[in-house]
Structure 1
Amino acid sequence: MTAHLLTPSDAIEKLHRQVERKWPAAVCADLGVGDPVTFSVPLRPGVSTGTAVARLGYAAWHEWHMRWREFADRHPGVQIVRKPVSVQGVKGDYPATLVADLDAAAALVSATAPPAVDVARARALASSLLFTGAILTPATLRATCQLGADDAEVLLSAVTWLSQNPDASAWTARQLPVPGMHTKWLDTHGALLRDVAGRDVRDEVRPRPAVLHLTYADPEHAASGRRRHDAWTTGDTHDIAYRPRIVLVVENRDSRLWFPPVRDTVVVEGGGKAAAALLADVPWIRAADHIVYWGDMDADGYAILNGFRAALAEPAPDGAPPKTVTSILMDVTDLHRYAAHGVNHDKGGRPIKASPAVLTHLTEGEAAAYDTVATAGPAPFRRIEQEAIPLTDAATRLLDVLPKLLP
């Protein structure tokens, strides 16, 4: 360790990092959860003898000592632990360690930088968590404090509701009658609720059956005059009009509704990440000879493909074997071909963000395209929407890949 002297500003910077790291444990300890926490910063590491002082220089030592004397006068609530050192043959007590509790440390830090935590709010939330019977740990407290006021209130209401309702199987996740909880709150905050409540209500609620919207693309079926569009619900007795050899999953409704005729094919509307994963357990999709995916060329589109492919790579709950998923119009060559349709803003005019997600189930060509649109660096564009690509191109590409898929 190199001997050196910390100035008050140096010490406060180190204290800031400690507060950011340890404040949840300190708040919990104040309420009897965990061991007491103090914040301390050595002020002269490696400097405990007169020889060490001489190496640093007496002028530097004196200036440092005066600065800490002034600091102590300005901050009487902060403890400066002093230890003896003999300097030029004279023994005296000099600052050695800055010690503070959470309140004093937070006050010191907030004077020079944005506060790491609102201590009063953290204590109030910690007390409320304990009052509701929640599991209070530094991790759950930190996560709770990161919520907005409304979401934190819903979390507390949810913990209370769960303590009063040991069985949640009568409701779906969106039907839970928790005061203040909107229908999608659990999608975002379910993991935190699990950690503070000690049970995962997402595993208890009544599952929502998958509802698939599909289009019959087979030309012979269309010529029969029967319905072209249909819906299929898991667990129902209704069956589809014919068993397809080819299932094409698309991301957007327009692409499904108006897909051109292709023999032995059913076009299914994927409907996003969660819905695409549910498709993997649909028996007649698994039973198809070939499963093909086509989505937007953007971070979400590739994430959906990645998740869909990963889900189908595992055996189904009913024992059906894994299946391979092929994509169309999602290769890096397609990205360049349709680059004129690339956009950088979403429908609300907001810039489309990069994605740090690592997708391990993409082909080399798909991964190159994903890296292009999802990179954290400059990108030519962030999205090519599926609807911008002519459906005739998609049908042609599907027919092009089928000979490679057919046995």
Structure 2
Amino acid sequence: MRTPDDILDQIRTRYDNNWRDWLVIPPGALSFSLAPPTAHTIAHDAAAVATWLRTWREWAHDHATVHMRTATRRTLIGTQQIYTHVDLHSVDSLVALIPDLAKRWYTATQRYSSISVLVVPQEQLKPYLAQIAALDDYDFRLLIRVTQWFTKNPKSGLTIRQVPVPGLHTKWLARNRSLVLALLGLPQLSEPDDDDLDVRDLDALGLRLLPTSIDIILTDPEDQRSLGGLRHIRAPLAEIAGLWLRPRHVLIVENKQSALPVPDWPGVVVIHSLGNFLDALAAIPWITSAQAWYWGDLDRAGFTLLSRARTRLPGITSVLMDRDTLSQHIELAVIDPTGRIDPPDSTLTIAERETLAALTDEGGQLRLEQERIPWNYVNHIFDKVLRGLSR
């Protein structure tokens, strides 16, 4: 014999499993069996059955949207009318029994009404309804405005920053790309990423890439002379890739502050401040003929970037990202305040993974920023690895 709480649990489960389908095709009456007592139970446990019936009678009195279905049981002690089912004539009457479901259903129906005017196959839209319903009101309104703009301008050729939709920015579109593409009826071409838009997504939306500049430092005096004495260069990726450079070593430095003090070194080019734009490494042809080194912060983010760089450029070797560097400068480390956990690609070496594991402290994850390491130590290591390989 099921209690009202049992039925409310069943209602919640049925709602969670079916609400997306109900938005598309509203169901008819909804019924829930009470697993009513048998004639044997009525005859042998009349007191428990009477209490059960009274509980349901009082509950039904307090919930006007329900209809209690009844049946008559013939027993050894006479006939007994019992409740058998809770019947609800619509989804609205069902969610009225549970306030938080009523709120969720109201949001879902209102938002579905707003997006149903878009010409999108229902089966393509269905997997994203939960995400759409979970958006806050601001993001949902922005989603509609963005979708309407791209519907009217499918091949604008603009950059994302030029799209004239108030409130739209690159990170918002990156976070919500799957919803925008779904509402436009376009295929999902890339894995979601909170920070970066894939070029395939931009193509699908009719957008073009932002002009991307790369920062390099020419530490070889010969390279400097060939380019009119320039040492520090910031230029679009295509122009950097087209430079006539043939370095023996390419040093990829995570932060600008750590790259600027690098002294002149014959045969060395420094690339710095790439951040997550690591696809650039595979687009610069003169890197592939050089020995590539990567120097980043000794923290979780630094090792994640290292692993992603090696995914693009398998020959990269890390430098100053080892246990010795960490142990000798551990007093300069601080607790990582970001709290983010970005798992690295599978390209880290065993030694690198051990160093990453060593960053775990009782107080949290440690961060040793590269610019905090004394420059005399950095220069000694560079002298050791660069001279060692150039012999």
3-state SS of paired residue (1:276): coil
Look up the match of 2:58: 70
Which whole-Å CA distance do the structure 1 matches of 2:342 and 2:48 have between them? Answer: 47
Alignment of 1:252 with 2:255, yes or no, is yes
Preserved contact between residue 232 and residue 240 of structure 1 (Cα < 8 Å): no
Look up the match of 2:232: 229
Preserved contact between residue 219 and residue 264 of structure 2 (Cα < 8 Å): yes
Alignment of 1:182 with 2:182, yes or no, is no
Look up the match of 2:285: 283
Structure 2: 5+ residue stretches without partners:
188-200
- 1:227 CA drift (Å): 2.2
Alignment of 1:152 with 2:155, yes or no, is no
What is the TM-score of this pair, normalised by structure 2? 0.79
Look up the match of 2:347: 361
Which whole-Å CA distance do the structure 1 matches of 2:71 and 2:316 have between them? Answer: 70
Look up the match of 1:338: 329
Look up the match of 1:95: 84
- 1:356 CA drift (Å): 6.2
Alignment of 1:302 with 2:303, yes or no, is yes
Alignment of 1:324 with 2:315, yes or no, is yes
3-state SS of paired residue (2:334): coil
Which whole-Å CA distance do the structure 1 matches of 2:178 and 2:241 have between them? Answer: 35
Preserved contact between residue 29 and residue 90 of structure 2 (Cα < 8 Å): yes
Look up the match of 2:373: 389
Which deviations, in whole Å up to 9, do the C-alpha atoms of 1:282-301 show, x marking residues without a partner? 2222232x112122233322
Preserved contact between residue 214 and residue 269 of structure 1 (Cα < 8 Å): yes
Which whole-Å CA distance do the structure 2 matches of 1:54 and 1:83 have between them? Answer: 16
Look up the match of 1:23: 19
Structure 1: 5+ residue stretches without partners:
31-35, 313-322, 347-351
Look up the match of 2:178: 191
- 1:354 CA drift (Å): 4.2
- 1:368 CA drift (Å): 3.6
Note closer, same or farther for the CA distance 1:383–1:63 as it changes in structure 2 (3 Å cut). Answer: farther
Preserved contact between residue 219 and residue 265 of structure 2 (Cα < 8 Å): yes
Aligned residues: 372
3-state SS of paired residue (1:381): strand
- 1:163 CA drift (Å): 2.1
Which deviations, in whole Å up to 9, do the C-alpha atoms of 1:104-126 show, x marking residues without a partner? 3433222xxx5585333322221
RMSD: 3.6
Which whole-Å CA distance do the structure 2 matches of 1:332 and 1:85 have between them? Answer: 79
> Quick one: percent identity of the two aligned structures?
28
Which whole-Å CA distance do the structure 1 matches of 2:365 and 2:219 have between them? Answer: 32
Which deviations, in whole Å up to 9, do the C-alpha atoms of 1:295-339 show, x marking residues without a partner? 223332222222222223xxxxxxxxxx32221233455444433
Note closer, same or farther for the CA distance 1:341–1:42 as it changes in structure 2 (3 Å cut). Answer: farther
Alignment of 1:110-189 (within 5 A): 110=99, 114-115=100-101, 117-134=103-120, 136=122, 137-168=125-156, 170-189=157-176
